[in-house]
Amino acid sequence: MANHQSALKRIRSNEAKRLRNKYQHKTTRNAVRDLRVAEDKKDAETKLTKVISMLDKLAKNNIIHKNKAANLKSKLTKHVAAL
């Protein structure tokens, strides 16, 4: 167990960040899933802009790798264009 006040605070802050990252990542995965099952092109295009923004934020904060975000954005854009 941690012996210093700063180490105890670090444990608390790490847990808060872990939960926030987990929530953001799960929310983005659900949004990607919803976009993939969308049938209407107009609806999919509006969802696409939101999903791209979410992916960029995750990549910026190193929750996901920047190349993974780029690959997902590319595949989703092709999917929406094919609708």
Query: What single DSSP character describes residue 72?
Result: H
Tens-digit pLDDT profile for the chain (83 aa)? 778 999 999 999 999 999 999 999 999 999 999 999 998 999 999 999 999 999 999 999 999 999 999 999 999 999 999 98
Tokens of 63: 């929750």
- The whole-number pLDDT of residue 18 equals 97
- The whole-number pLDDT of residue 53 equals 96
Domain count, the chain: 1
**How far apart are alpha carbons 69 and 79 in whole angstroms?**
15
Domain of residue 56, residue span: 5-82
- The whole-number pLDDT of residue 77 equals 95
- The whole-number pLDDT of residue 22 equals 97
CATH code, 18: 1.20.58.110
